[in-house]
Chain A
Amino acid sequence: GEDVEQSLFLSVREGDSSVINCTYTDSSSTYLYWYKQEPGAGLQLLTYIFSNMDMKQDQRLTVLLNKKDKHLSLRIADTQTGDSAIYFCAEIFSGGGADGLTFGKGTHLIIQP
């Protein structure tokens, strides 16, 4: 079945870059997503990448996709205290006539002053 794996915690110093890694199993995924969840809040779509792309950059965010290894990463440049959150990697799965998202367990990003 579909599975998405992430490390549970990442600690970085303020101002450094954060790199959150994710591996997925469904090679047919056409879109891969990063969602952000701040404490006590809902899920916010951060960015996504189409499977025929290797890289996508959006301001401080860089997404890298290695489709051969089924590896996805999210790099946050100049990490700020406001980036402290849980980051979920997700891939589409298709079942029957509808589909949903399979999420990783989430990476808790901890910012050290």
Chain B
Amino acid sequence: DTAVSQTPKYLVTQMGNDKSIKCEQNLGHDTMYWYKQDSKKFLKIMFSYNNKELIINETVPNRFSPKSPDKAHLNLHINSLELGDSAVYFCASRFGQGTLETQYFGPGTRLLVL
């Protein structure tokens, strides 16, 4: 069974649209993350979230919003998509807030904005 899964795997859409990427983890983790990997393969954290607190990277535009319907899911909503949003988006999760546990990554969602 996949530990961290994302849907869709590929997403091609027009500029200006609103889209969502879903993430689910079946590991019982209570902290989840979204990362963005740009065309140069640079990875940057966007959000970290546990059931108490959302931490936002201040460089992330407010068109991006994470939504967590329950502990196992952290979905990423993107409004008014722009060309520069084209990237691979990775979801990750870990148990607890300490540094003793490693993060597990999903397979990534490849977003292409035309």
Point out residues on A near B: beta carbons under 8 Å: 29-31, 33, 35, 37, 41-45, 48, 86, 88, 92, 94-103, 105-106, 108
Q: What residue of chain B has the Cβ atom nearest to residue A30's Cβ?
A: B99
Q: Which of B18-26, B75-83, B104-112 contacts the other chain?
A: B104-112
Are B103 and A101 in contact (CB-based, < 8 A)? yes
Range for the number of chain B residues in contact with chain A: 20 to 34
Q: What residue of chain A has the Cβ atom nearest to residue B106's Cβ?
A: A42
Q: Report the Cα distance A95→B106, complex, angstroms.
A: 22
Q: Report the Cα distance A31→B98, complex, angstroms.
A: 10
Are B41 and A99 in contact (CB-based, < 8 A)? no
> CB-CB < 8 A to B45: which residues of A?
100-102
A42 CB contact (under 8 Å) in B48, B97, B108: B108
**Given that A42-B108, A92-B99 are contacting pairs, would A100 and B41 also be in contact in the complex, using a CB cutoff of 8 Å?**
no
Are A88 and B105 in contact (CB-based, < 8 A)? no
Are B107 and A42 in contact (CB-based, < 8 A)? yes
> CB-CB < 8 A to A100: which residues of B?
33, 35, 45, 48, 55, 103
> CB-CB < 8 A to B35: which residues of A?
100-101, 103
> CB-CB < 8 A to B106: which residues of A?
42
> CB-CB < 8 A to A101: which residues of B?
33, 35, 45, 92, 103
**Given that A30-B99, A42-B106, A92-B99 are contacting pairs, would A105 and B40 also be in contact in the complex, using a CB cutoff of 8 Å?**
yes
B50 CB contact (under 8 Å) in A43, A88, A98: A98
Q: Report the Cα distance A103→B103, complex, angstroms.
A: 13
Q: Report the Cα distance A30→B7, complex, angstroms.
A: 32
> CB-CB < 8 A to B42: which residues of A?
103, 105-106
Q: Report the Cα distance A88→B103, complex, angstroms.
A: 14
The contact sample of 27 A-B pairs, CB cut-off 8 A, is A31-B100, A37-B41, A41-B108, A42-B105, A42-B108, A43-B92, A43-B108, A44-B105, A45-B103, A45-B104, A94-B99, A95-B55, A97-B52, A97-B55, A98-B48, A99-B48, A99-B97, A99-B99, A100-B33, A100-B45, A100-B55, A101-B92, A103-B43, A106-B41, A106-B42, A106-B43, A108-B41
